[in-house]
Structure 1
Amino acid sequence: MRQERNNIFVGIDWVTVILYIILIIFGWVNIYAASSNEIDNQIFNFSTRYGKQLIWIALSIPIIIFVLFFNSKFYETFSSILYVISILFLIGVLVFGKKINGATSWYSFGGVGLQPSEFMKAFTALALAKLMSDRQYNLGLLKNQVKAFVIIFLPAFFIALQPDMGSVLIYFSFFFVLNREGLTLTYIILGTFSILLFLLTISFGVATVLTISLTLISTYILYAIYKNKRFIRFNIFKVIGTYAVTSIFIIGIGYIYDNVIEQHQKDRFDILLGKIKDNTGIGYNTYQAELTISSGGFSGKGFLKGDRTQGNFVPEQDTDYIFSTVCEEWGFLGSSAVIIIFSLFLFRIIYLAEKQTNKFGRIYGYGVVSIFFFHVIVNIGMVIGILPTIGIPLPFFSYGGSSLWGFTLLLFIFIRLDAYKAYDL
């Protein structure tokens, strides 16, 4: 038993590791296709972006070994400390960080940038698992829900100050974790309803949406009174509160949209909702990505034969818009294969999470799958034009050392927890 404990590879789920390797390799192939040209096409040219990505991939190996070196008890015991240290790094980047593309999100070390928000996701998942795995913790109590919300949204607050709103949205994925552990669906329903009201308000205006909403509420109340004459007597404060909250929320949306949200962000929503069409300005990236995707057809144009990819028609094609490269060169078949592999990857993590012998491992596992799921759905939705552009990388595909290392750290901590489940009995 002791010898097995000293072997860091004992108990590793190799199915998950193989899926990880497949995604890494295919991701790099598409980064090569999106960033190479006739002059810079040597695989081991480390001055190129695909060459640098090879370095990030190679350096992921010692990160994996380092993560596997510690047992599950280490991550459970020190999760809170790791979380606090990561928060300090988020605060520090606001003071000492380098501004890139309008956001102070990076530490710069001799030309190498590290984005602490990419690593914060793993440590937030650990801290949340630590909190909720306590035997005295009852998610049904409001005070305990508040504790969970603080852990989730404290890093989101500091990331918003950078500002990096795309990374902020990732933290809403933790509601899937809370729901798995018994949180009522009310929060998710309210969240979905709030998003719907937001989209309707910016599409049709405050007055129209407010009138329709209050009319629907009034219709429901009249129906309830008709069915039960005493309804209004016992629910008068709920009725008043519903009118007030709905009105304040809709009016607030209108005010924030008109006076707080920056113009380029409003333009993205307006393009998404079809209020304006701008294929040469703010909507250029999405428009070009859609053309690139459609040009791939059923089977694709072939590796390095995508003329739109090779012609650099899509800005940021090796980062946020990498999926358009997949679609052009590998077509519907290739892009479907990528989605299937991601789906297998996610279902495998869910399967392993459900098999965990302790609550900490299960909760962390659901944190991992929620983060990956949110990234995949939002990035692909953004590229194909059904979601606004918000700058979220596609795991293992988008160029960047911080995102690759962050996802690797997130995944292999769970792989270590899963490998040690037999010793945690």
Structure 2
Amino acid sequence: MANINKVVLAYSGGLDTSIILKWLQDQYQCEVVTFTADIGQGEELEPARAKAQALGVKEIYIEDLREEFVGEYVFPLFRANTVYEGEYLLGTSIARPLIAKRLVEIANRTGADAIAHGATGKGNDQVRFELGAYALKPDIKVIAPWREWDLTSREKLLAYAEQHNIPIERKRGNQSPYSMDANLLHISYEGGPLEDPWQEPEEEMWRWSVSPERAPDKHLILELEFAQGDIVAIDGTPMKPARVLSYLNKVAGANGIGRLDLVENRYVGMKSRGCYETPGGTVMLKAHRAIESLTLDREVAHLKDELMPRYASLVYNGYWWSPERKLLQELIDSSQSHVNGKVRLKLYKGNVIVTGRYSATNSLFDANIATFEEDEGAYNQKDAEGFIKLNALRLRIAAQLQSR
């Protein structure tokens, strides 16, 4: 790619992007601007700054995006009860549109010619970053080193790092480290022993949670308060979105909640095996469905469930900034105006158990109608006979035809 004088690199300070930084400088003879998003990975930030400075980077952007990430990306995701392929809570997927947005904004601010990312040519993230960037800046140039260079394995990357004196943390003898991605919603693990789907994950791999077997023998009770589909308080204490998720991660992880071992279908066509820890998100999903069960109209709830797999695929495949995702989001968000109230949960050895749900203003549950005791005329049970016969009419006609 010609005429590249300045590039904004999505930079984590990890193995891939540390090597990419040096490779961009050598291959393109260009200035590199690094952008590191603080979306909950915490301890990775200052090492990333130090590495970038050591490699001669003059413009370093490290931004605290935790509130924006949870409030404007994670919370909308959970209003839809989003689960990909029945299990995955999209922790990696949902971070990419925010990073893509900031890459484009920093490119505009610094006058950069291109953006660059460390996603491989086999993965989903290349699609997510680039679809987001093109949606927001159609003429942006994108450099994806994994699609250009010959460093096609972890071993070659480690050798390159040693050759150029690039320090790599968590080096395990001659073995490659896991490929990890962390943010406030989750931490993911790929590669190494996980490339054998029959191999059980090593217990030492997990960082955010204890195993259910080692979780406390006493349960923990939580009370979550919802306003328009979002958690706004825990146990009576008002909290902003990032604090909500941080707190739930801590208490749920301590109770063995949120581990997932998954073989998923990537957008690029292959199956991949990954492990995920999403303790807070696991609690949020259970609680949100519980408050919706009390406050959402039946057909609205069912329609949301029908649309959710499509919404999940859009997020997973990188179409966060697409008109169809935005349209679905408007529909989902409008359904949440009455999703207000409280949910009580019990966390115990890997389980999230709903023990109560309450809404002072928006509950559609009427005990006078639902009761098995005397309902004082609130519901005429004789009405059910006509209801059943009308719904059975087509079945009876078909049966009569078959009998003839």
Please indicate, yes or no, whether the TM-score normalized by the shorter chain is above 0.5.
no
Bin of the TM-score, shorter chain as denominator length: under 0.3
Higher helix share: 1
- TM-score, with structure 2 as normaliser: 0.24
Higher relative contact order (CA 8 A, sep 6+): 1
Instruction: State which structure, 1 or 2, has the greater radius of gyration over its C-alpha atoms.
Output: 2
TM, length-normalised to structure 1? 0.23
